[in-house]
Amino acid sequence: MAQSEAATVEEYLAELPEDRRATVSAVRDVILANLPDGYVEGIQWGMITYSVPLEVSGKTYNGQPLGYVSLASQKNHVSLYLMGVYGEREQEFRAEFEATGRKLDMGKSCVRFKRTDDLPLDLIGREVARQSVAEFVAKAKAARS
């Protein structure tokens, strides 16, 4: 799927073929069940994004809410962007993922997968739950300094 023009999460999900909708919905359910208070679900950059509202984070470098997790259906896979993993947690996350016996296909913060079974959902849930809004904003501000 090319970048979505959907304005809401419901519209985004409705655009997807049934098998892809089931995969994205299952991962979305894990995210929502583990997402700390204060993050907001919406559509940014053509994908489902969980972000810190500007009223909380303050001004960002691009004027957009501070993205924490994003979920997108791409042409050949689904992408899960875990910004809390980027940098200092990346090697630890890679080791934890690979210890589950699943094959990890990952860029800097992007985990690519085709089916829900490709992900250790308990690890994804723990990773999503790892940082409160205050912790994530503080790390983002420290990285910008």
Rounded distance, CA 39 to CA 53, Å? 7
Instruction: State pLDDT tens for residues 6-55.
Output: 999 999 999 999 999 999 999 999 999 999 999 999 999 999 999 999 99
How far is residue 96's CA from residue 103's CA, in Å, rounded to a whole number? 11
| Architecture of the structural domain at 9-140 | Alpha-Beta Complex (3.90)
Q: Tell me the pTM.
A: 0.93
Q: Which residue stretches of the chain are H helix? A: 9-15, 18-34, 54-57, 90-98, 121-129, 133-144
For the chain, which residues make up each domain, given as ranges? 9-140
